[in-house]
Amino acid sequence: MGINKSYAVLGLGRYGRAVAEELINNGAEVLAVDIDQNNVNNAIETLPVCKCADITEPETIKRLGISNIDVVIIAMASNLEASVMAVTLCKEAGVKTVIVKCGNEMHQKILSRVGADKVIFPEKESGTRLAKNLITSGFSEMIELSDDVSMVEINIKDEWVGKTLIELSLRKKYSVNVVAVKKGDEITTTIDPALPLEKGMELIVIANTSKLQKLK
């Protein structure tokens, strides 16, 4: 994903606003929408493109141009029916990635079945963290170890396949430290730097968060 993608955040409660504000603070283009005018009024100062609309209506999805959005985040965990409708309409509009906040495991199953690409529990993943994961393109997962340092999973780039960590010299080029290699469900922390990397592998690295964009 990343900064060059366009985003829409549907639902401007605390979680939705946190996602939208973090995306905007990182330079992303964000359309923010809520059915409650009070929520829109409270968010307009920090969210430049903020609309009051009912996103469970097909005409609203069309009017807002949701079909042109790369990633939609639906943040209405308290209203399952609205979330289901929003997911369905967004996927029908051709949105490639739809991420939805949910309240429990049963809702997670329902939302996944109607087409959600990722379902998250807000108590497990903060809005700010979700936004940072979206911005740091190419990372499967990102965990903040401190304000300045993060651990991320990096998908092996096509040009890295067949090369060794010695040849790639990732620490020198990207200022990252490789701490493990992941293949499927198997994680190896005893790394052979002379072992050629294979397609489908992931590298788990630790780096200064400000340096991560170099890996895009």
Q: What pLDDT digit, counting tens, does each position of 162-191 carry? A: 999 999 998 888 888 888 888 877 888 888
Q: What is the structure's pLDDT at 123?
A: 57
User: What percentage of the chain has pLDDT greater than the value 90?
Assistant: 45
Q: What is the CATH number of domain 139-215?
A: 3.30.70.1450
Runs of H (alpha helix) within 33-186: 37-43, 58-63, 80-92, 105-113, 127-135, 165-168, 170-174
Amino acid present at 93: A
Which residues belong to CATH 3.40.50.720 in the chain?
Answer: 6-135
For 54-73, write each residue's pLDDT tens digit: 999 999 999 999 999 999 99
Q: What does the pLDDT read at residue 67?
A: 95
Mean pLDDT value of segment 1-21: 86
The segment(s) of the chain belonging to CATH 3.30.70.1450 are 139-215
| Cα-based distances in Å from 166 to 162, 176, 187, 207 | 12, 13, 19, 18
Whether pLDDT at 143 is above 70: no
Share of the chain above pLDDT 70, in %: 85
The answer to pTM > 0.75 is no
Domain spanning 6-135: CATH superfamily: NAD(P)-binding Rossmann-like Domain (3.40.50.720)
Q: Does pLDDT of 129 surpass 60?
A: yes
Q: What is the dihedral of CA 17, 19, 24, 26, to 10 degrees?
A: 150
Neighbours of 173 (CB within 10 A): 10
The pLDDT assigned to 124 comes to 52
Residue 107 in contact with residue 118, Cβ under 8 Å?
no
CA 146, CA 103: separation in Å to the nearest integer? 28
Q: For residue 42, what pLDDT is reported?
A: 93
Task: Quote the pLDDT of residue 191.
Answer: 84
The pLDDT, as a whole number, for residue 46 is 93
Residue from 73, 89, 96 nearest 8 by CA = 73
